[in-house]
Amino acid sequence: MLGWALTFLVIAIIAAVFGFGGIASASAGIAQILFFVFLVLFVVALIARAVRGRRV
């Protein structure tokens, strides 16, 4: 998921350099959404691991 966010971020930067404002803003928006989804899933995974504890 983080890879997709980085991919869309790179697309947004390249589109912005070439002057494609609509594509750049759309790609940046998608990258931002994917990054926050990744961040939420990461926090949920950390909490689940802390609650479950370590099994032997």
Q: Which helix (H) or strand (E) holds 39?
A: helix 21-52
Identify the residue whose tokens are 């691991």.
49
CA distances (Å), origin 40, targets 22, 34, 47, 53? 27, 10, 11, 20
Closest CA relative to residue 41, chosen from 12, 1, 4: 1
pLDDT beyond 80 at 2: no
Query: What is the pLDDT at residue 56?
Result: 60
Range of the domain at 31: 2-52
Please report which confidence band the pLDDT of residue 15 belongs to, taking 50, 70 and 90 as the band edges: confident
Query: Could you report the per-residue pLDDT of 19-53, keeping only the tens digit for each?
Result: 777 877 888 888 888 889 989 989 998 898 889 87
**Which stretches does DSSP call E strand in 1-56?**
none
State how many domains the chain has.
Answer: 1
